[in-house]
Amino acid sequence: MQNNTEISGYTTIVNCNKISFRRGEKDILQDISWKIQQGQNWALLGANGSGKTTFLKIITGYEWPTSGTVSVLGNIYGRCDLREVRKMIGWVSFNISSNIPNNDTAIEIVVSGLEASMGLYREYSQDEYNRALSALNMLSAANFANQSYVTLSQGEQQKTLIARALVNKPKLLVLDEPCSGLDPAAKELFLKDIENLVSHHDAPGIIFVTHHIDEIREWITNVFIIKDGQKLADGHTGNVLSNEILSQAFNCNCKVLNDNNNYSLKIDKI
């Protein structure tokens, strides 16, 4: 397997080149290229059905593009062991909650991330539990380590799943709408914890999928927008979050309000 690719002093985390994905008669993704460099954190925006989840499935190797190439950390899909690459990717989908064994505690769920399993199928060492605890600590979540998952609040459950993804020290962390279901204060606390997480020297690059641009904070360096399966725009956050681009992305007249890099969206007319 190849090692990380160095480009201009950066490590390229994701390199998608001209990805297309067709199912039946439908072009779900067309000719999309995306490069994510180390040190960048991206928001991925797009209307419902625009192709975000499909694109993420291709990046994480769970779907295969009809044409185009994907490489993650220098590993070219089709010429590498995908199981090994997936260990470097944390994909947090909050839908997996339904697969969680009822009585597992938060720390048991986090430690099971070491085997990418749901449920404990082997004994874990004290050292492994310590790693799980430090993953919870990174999200200020160690206080509920021994509480059973089903009794946790939604925000606490979300943090548990992210800690589970972090326990293998991924290089890429994909968060699909992590703030959905959080109350306004819980959302702020949660985003603050992610901000603390990205400040760690070995923090993974993040892809943050959201429908709410007020969740795009300063640590999100770049934004990628998909429309109808095609790239509409990508680049630095401040350049991409414009009235024109977001109006096109969401098929409405909207205004981006920017108060000191705190963004919000006002819909003028539908």
Ligand X SMILES: Nc1ncnc2c1ncn2[C@@H]1O[C@H](COP(=O)(O)OP(=O)(O)OP(=O)(O)O)[C@@H](O)[C@H]1O
Residues in the chain: 270
Are 227 and 47 in contact by the 8 Å Cβ rule? The answer is yes
Neighbours of 221 (CB within 10 A): 18
Neighbours of 90 (CB within 10 A): 26
Quick check: 28 binds ligand X (CB under 6 A)? yes
CB-wise, 136 or 223, nearer to Mg ion? 223
Among 15, 41, 54, 71, binds ligand X (CB under 6 A): 54
CB-wise, 197 or 223, nearer to ligand X? 223
Quick check: 53 binds Mg ion (CB under 5 A)? yes
CB-wise, 28 or 139, nearer to Mg ion? 28
Stretch that binds ligand X, among 42-50, 138-146, 189-197, 238-246 (CB under 6 A): 42-50
Among 15, 16, 42, 51, binds ligand X (CB under 6 A): 51
Quick check: 23 binds ligand X (CB under 6 A)? yes
Are 171 and 89 in contact by the 8 Å Cβ rule? The answer is yes
Among 3, 8, 48, 95, binds ligand X (CB under 6 A): 48
Helix residue ranges per DSSP H, 60-144: 82-86, 106-112, 126-138
**Binding-residue pattern over the window 203 to 242 for ligand X, x denoting contact by CB under 6 A:** ----------------------------------------
CB-wise, 51 or 113, nearer to ligand X? 51
Q: How far is the CB of 231 from ligand X (least distance, A)?
A: 13
CB-wise, 56 or 220, nearer to ligand X? 56
Q: Which of 115, 40, 37, 41 is nearest to 71 (CA)?
A: 37
Q: Which two tokens stand for residue 116?
A: 């990418």
Stretch that binds ligand X, among 46-54, 110-118, 143-151, 255-263 (CB under 6 A): 46-54
Q: Which of 74, 97, 43, 57 is nearest to 246 (CA)?
A: 43
Concatenated DSSP letters of 129-182: HHHHHHHHHHTT-GGGTTSBGGGS-HHHHHHHHHHHHHTT--SEEEEESTTTT-
Stretch that binds ligand X, among 51-59, 94-102, 141-149, 189-197 (CB under 6 A): 51-59
Among 7, 18, 39, 49, binds ligand X (CB under 6 A): 49
The partner in contact with residue 258, picked from Mg ion, ligand X, none with C-beta cut-offs of 5 to 8 angstroms by kind, is: none
The partner in contact with residue 23, picked from ligand X, Mg ion, none with C-beta cut-offs of 5 to 8 angstroms by kind, is: ligand X
* DSSP one-letter code for 118: S
Distances from the Cα of 42 to the Cα of 22, 45, 209, 250, angstroms: 25, 10, 8, 19
Are 96 and 161 in contact by the 8 Å Cβ rule? The answer is yes
User: What residues make contact with Mg ion under the rule CB under 5 A?
Assistant: 52-53
Q: Which residues bind ligand X (CB under 6 A)?
A: 23, 26, 28, 46, 48-54
